[in-house]
Structure 1
Amino acid sequence: MRTTTGRGLQPNVLGTFDTTVMAVAGSAPAYSLAATTAVLFGAVGLAGPAALLYCAIPMLGIVLAYARLGRIDVNAGAGYSWVGRTLHPFLGFLSGWALVVAATVFMVAGSLPAGALTLSLFDAGLAENTPLSAAVGFGWFLLMLLVVLGGARLTVRAQLLMSGVEMLILVGFVLAALLHRGHAVAFDWSWLGLGHFDGPAGFASGALIAAYYYWGWDVTSNLSEETRDSRRTAGLAALVGVGVVFLLFEAFTIAVNILLTAEQIEAGGAGVLAVLGQEIWPGVGGKLLIVAVLLSTIATLETTLIQVTRSLFAMGRDRTLPAALGTVHRRWNTPWVAIVAVGGAALLMFGAAAAAGSMGQILEHAVAAIGLQIAFYYGLAGIAAVVAYRGMLLGSVRNLLLGGVWPLLGSAFMFWAFAESLGELSTPSLVIGLGGLLVGVVPMIVYWRKGSSYYRPARLDAARALAAAEPFAPSSPRARRPDETLATDF
């Protein structure tokens, strides 16, 4: 295998449509609904639609923060770079580390259902065999690992096929659910209110699970070094992607509340979407939605691999982790060492998962743990955006709202959900979530003592960065201040 160091990722590979598809696939609508609906129902009951709604509002603040930070610092490490250059390098490293841990845990949380779903297409009984599901799931994971190794163009082509079929099936079932006559209960507007939550802690638990639903759209930022006009494209694609999956999440969660009983939801577990499909279209619907979930699961494995390998690539390039991780393949322009390292770590975790027992328990613990890590690094990014643009926030009401208030609201919400949910989570979830973060302190201190230049950052300031990126002569009729440029671009 021919490799080289000192090379970057291949630029200008992805366009706006490609990146938007990646944002939607990153949030994995069908997989998120299948893996998390029963978990969300167990935590908040009929208030699932409200949890998704009230998490979407601050989540959009984080999307705006990513869009604005991406305009002034194009970096495959995304929050790892932004937080390190605005708040503190230690926080920046831990932000990147949180993404790496969350994504690595997801390799099991995502691949196990892929294996079980594949087996269920042939024999429903086989899906209950966790070791066999882990083996088949690892096969899908390995296939996606090879696709990601093959480069961004191959990755997008595979994504267009998988996500295209998934979206056609999901939209078709949304329309079918609207026309379906058999209702378990009638629609109730209170499902979108706050009355069904068990106090602030119950609301926080629901919000943390909802954050897991949305997680993944930020893959657009990790792909920024490979995207055309990425200073605008990455943020726009993320915004559109979150809007699309929000509508799908709300539609299907409401459909589950209406069409299925509590007993059906709890018994369905990770297969609740197949139960819904059978209710809407007996005999065929369940199988079709299983296909949609399988495609979504495989697609989001691909986007998650991109996130974790690009983050590790940025860390290796900065010498905050072994420099070999920053090595790019000469032919495919992909961080192949990081890809191989993730594959090795995932193999060990698959072995542990196969011996751990119930797939439902594994998913429940993993979702909660990943939710903690998501809340942590999203919250830091929201603060980083406000700090980076602090000199420009008072330039207009639009700047103050979109660049200050909304990202700060998103950040506060994420940290509040993080803190409030700690008392509600199981011991395995806390060990995975908090323990995974604490492990990152070791490499952080080691490479800080080695003198990595990452720990002596050039400060990130939006006014200077935008002026340098878009220099207009003062006499030109197109001349405009950096805050005016910002006002039209998020």
Structure 2
Amino acid sequence: MSEYDGSTADDGLTRTLGLLDCVLLSVGGMVGSAIFVFPGSTGRLAGPASTLAWVVAGLLMMIIALCYTELALAFPKAGGPAVFPAETFGRNRTVRLFASYLEGTSYCIGMVFSVTISALAIAQYLGIAFPRAKGYVVPIALAAIALSFLVNLVGVTSTSRTNLVLSALLLTILLVFVAIGLTRFEPTNYDPFFTSGPAKFFAAVQLALTGYGAWTAIPSVAEEVKRPAKTVPRAILLSLLVTTVLYTAVVVALHGVVAPSAFAEGSPVTTVPLGVAASKLGVPMVRQYFLPLAAVVAIFTTMLVGTMSASRVVFALGRNGTLPRAFAAVHSRFQVPWVGLVAVSLVAAALTIFPEYFYELLVIASVVGTGLPYALNIVSFVGLRHYRTDVTPPFRAPGGDALPAVALVALSVAMVGLGSTEVLWSVGSIALLGTYFLVRYLRRPDLFRQRDAATNWE
């Protein structure tokens, strides 16, 4: 039986996050770079039908979230997404550790690339309010990554409180944008509604799905949540509901203001869609200052949550030995996995020097960093139900085996649509991850032959 409540956690972590903290971490992480950047790309892929793609993605994410919620309460540990496969992928320890490693590193790729994309987008939106900033994209991105690292370093409570203030400001400005946008709404922009085939529509769904990914911050910090049995399921589902409604409203307003012809490859709307929309609203203050400010705030909250989540997953991989044990270190003063924070921030910073590969990074973040980890943990959910009968979580997702089946089918359709656009980038990333694990296995075979004390499995 797993432990679900309590005030302390293992390895120096402490339970300090309540329901509001978790909801705002999740909403703040989701409502960030995704809604300020991705609607341009989904609009290019699916036209006005991208509004439906965002709704479908939100509903699909809720199905996936039900699986994760049961897993998170069965194994409420830091870096949960990487913990679940290690606990549920059958009886062979090597297979379970490989699944854990692939899940964790893929998840980190998604979060790290999201931090990089966010940092680059901050510079783009600052350029709207301050044109001179356009010439300093990389330095501004590096400064944003450094600030995100410092906020995370001083503790999860500090990250939560910062996110609370920024999220309140952000939601206010976005609601103003939606209200003004709906008053300038042009119905002809939605005729025709479908401008591309099913493949591109599902590619848009997969891309939009990436915009909902930050809710996984909650299972990632489950070891730092007060009363997780009650807090985790409520926080996950409530934050997804709020975000789906907000995303849909923003994208509806965007397409109501911007004509379909503007969503051409290489046009400004593909990188700063809300900035282009704001220029058509006829309210200079919104276009010049309010929206860029909201974008910078939103994108920075995504960076905060992404850095925090990825560092906890790296921490979990250090715990189980698939990454060097140094990654499991916790700072004695701030009680955060500081080595993971350093690693995540340095990799994100290194990637900012390649802004010309923005779309390729976006695809890898979506397919390798989002689709693959979700697929692995949906399988983990099946493993929990069928292999780990010794564990009885306090939350049981409805639907039985039909739930993961529906989630896997829908996720597969979405991944094929987007994955086909940059096959070599995605396959190459997975091949590199697999190569490292093989090297690790050959150098330290003892790590994969130990007996699991908790399960008595080989």
TM-score, normalised with respect to structure 2: 0.87
Q: Is the 8 A contact 2:79 2:221 kept in 1?
A: no
1:439 maps to amino acid:
L
2:432 aligned with 1:439: yes
Q: 1:8: which partner in 2?
A: 11
Q: Is 1:217–1:241's contact at 8 Å kept on the other side of the alignment?
A: yes
Supply the AA of the counterpart residue of 1:198: G
| Equivalent AA in structure 1 for residue 109 of structure 2 | V
Find out whether 1:452 has 2:447 as its counterpart. yes
Matched, 1:32 2:47: no
Which stretch shows the higher mean deviation, 373-382 or 274-283? 274-283
Tell me if the contact between 2:81 and 2:104 (Cα under 8 Å) persists in the aligned partners.
yes
Q: What SS does the corresponding residue of 1:228 show, helix, strand or coil?
A: coil
CA distance in 2, matches of 1:298, 1:250: 21
1:8 to partner: Cα distance: 1.8
Q: 1:289 to 1:141 in 2, by over 3 A?
A: same
Q: In structure 2, what residue type is equivalent to 1:65? A: C
Q: Which residue of structure 2 lines up, in the alignment, with residue 385 of structure 1?
A: 381
Query: In 2 relative to 1, CA 168–64 (structure 1 residues): closer, same or farther, beyond 3 Å?
Result: same
1:7 and 1:66 map into 2 onto residues whose CA distance is: 21
Q: Which moved more, 1:334-343 or 1:436-445?
A: 436-445
Residue by residue, what CA displacement relative to the aligned partner does 1:240-277 show, whole Å, maximum 9, x if unpaired? 11111111111111112211112444432222202222
Structure 1 residues 7, 85: closer, same or farther in 2, change over 3 A? Answer: closer
1:414 paired residue among 398, 403, 411 = 411
Letter in 2 for 1:278: S
Match of 2:127 in 1: 119
Could you tell me how far 1:217 is from its partner in structure 2? 1.0
Matched AA of 2:309 = Q
| Residue among 194, 217, 220 paired with 1:219 | 217
CA displacement at 1:228 relative to structure 2? 0.4
Measured at CA, do residues 281 and 167 of structure 1 come closer, stay the same or move farther in structure 2, by a change above 3 Å?
A: farther
In structure 2, the residue matched to 1:240 is 238
Distance of 1:417 and 1:183 partners within structure 2: 29
SS in 1 for 2:284: coil
Matched residues in 2 for 1:89 and 1:420: separation?
29
Amino acid at match of 1:298: F
Task: Name which of 100, 103, 107 aligns with 1:99.
Answer: 107
Query: How far 1:459 moved relative to its partner?
Result: 7.9
**Aligned mates of 2:401, 2:176 — CA distance in 1:** 39
Q: Is the 8 A contact 1:220 1:235 kept in 2?
A: no
Report the CA distance shift for 1:458/1:253 in structure 2 as closer, same or farther (over 3 A): farther
Q: CA deviation at 1:44?
A: 0.9
Counterpart of 2:291, as a letter, is L
Q: 1:454 to 1:19 in 2, by over 3 A?
A: farther
- Structure 2 CA distance for aligned equivalents of residues 460 and 419 of structure 1: 36
- Cα 1:336–1:274 shift into 2, 3 Å: same
Matched position secondary structure for 2:149:
helix
Equivalence for 2:206 = 208
Kindly tell me: are residues 11 and 137 of structure 1, through their superposed partners in 2, closer, same or farther at Cα, counting changes over 3 Å? Answer: same
Q: Contact (CA 8 Å) 2:32, 2:301: kept in 1 or not? A: no
Report if the CA contact (8 A) 1:36-1:213 is conserved: yes
Structure 1 residues 7 and 63, CA gap change in structure 2 (3 angstroms): closer
445-454 or 284-293, larger mean C-alpha shift? 445-454
Aligned to 1:290: 292
Q: Distance in 2 between matches of 1:454 and 1:296?
A: 45
Contact 1:101–1:436 under 8 Å retained in 2: no
Decide whether aligned partners of structure 1 residues 160 and 335 sit closer, same or farther in structure 2, where only a CA change above 3 A counts.
same
Percentage of identical aligned residues: 20
Contact between 2:180 and 2:281, CA under 8 Å: does it hold in 1?
Answer: yes
Cα distance in 1, alignment partners of residues 104 and 252 from structure 2: 35
Residue 280 of structure 1 aligns with which residue?
281
When residues 455 and 165 of structure 1 are mapped into structure 2, their CA distance, relative to the original with a 3 A threshold, is farther
8 A contact 1:77–1:222 mirrored in 2: yes
Report the secondary structure of 1:216's partner residue.
helix
Q: For residue 106 of structure 1, what is the amino acid of its counterpart?
A: S
* Pairing of 1:297-316 with structure 2 (within 5 A): 297-316=299-318
The alpha carbon displacement at 1:116 in A equals: 2.3
Q: 1:458 to 1:235 in 2, by over 3 A?
A: farther
Structure 1 partner of 2:401: 404
Contact residue 89 and residue 455 of structure 1 kept, 8 A: no
Query: 262-271 or 9-18, which moves further after superposition?
Result: 262-271
Whether contact under 8 Å (1:386, 1:403) holds in the other structure is no
Aligned residues of 1:75 and 1:224 also touching (Cα < 8 A): yes
Match of 1:41 among 23, 40, 43: 43
**2:33 touches 2:295 (CA, 8 Å); kept in 1?**
yes
State whether residues 61 and 408 of structure 1, in contact with CA within 8 Å, keep that contact through their aligned partners in structure 2: no
For the structure 1 residues 92 and 30, does the alpha-carbon distance in structure 2 shift closer, same or farther, using more than 3 Å as the test? closer
CA distance in 2 between counterparts of 1:459 and 1:48 reads 46
1:477 maps to none
**CA gap 1:113/1:9 in 2 versus in 1, 3 angstroms:** farther
Query: What is the distance in 1 between the residues matched to 2:396 and 2:229?
Result: 17
2:419 pairs with 1:426: no
2:57 matches 1:55: yes
* Residues 22 and 303, structure 1, Cα contact 8 Å, conserved in 2: yes
What do the CA deviations read for 1:147-185 (whole angstroms, capped 9, x no partner)? Answer: 10110111111111111100111122223333x145262
| Alpha-carbon separation, structure 2, partners of 1:167 and 1:271 | 18
Q: Does structure 2 retain, via aligned residues, the 8 Å contact 1:221–1:235? A: no
Secondary structure, aligned partner of 2:188: coil
Asked if 2 retains the 8 angstrom alpha-carbon contact of 1:185 and 1:259, the reply is no
What is the alpha-carbon distance in structure 1 between the residues aligned to residue 434 and residue 234 of structure 2?
34
8 Å contact from structure 2 (residues 14, 223) kept in 1 = yes
Residue number in structure 2 paired with 1:369:
364
- Equivalent residue for 1:159, pick from 163, 186, 190: 163
**What is the deviation of 1:439?**
1.6
Is 2:21 aligned against 1:18?
Answer: yes
Gaps in structure 1 of 5+ consecutive residues: 1-5, 393-397, 462-490
Structure 2 stretches lacking a partner, 5+ long: 1-8, 90-95, 390-394
What is the count of residue pairs matched by the alignment?
A: 430
- 3-state SS of paired residue (2:211): helix
Deviations 1:84-138 (A, max 9, x none): 2212332221011101122222232110011222233211x642x3xx2111111
Q: Distance in 1 between matches of 2:455 and 2:418?
A: 32
Partners in 2 of 1:48 and 1:417 — Cα distance? 13
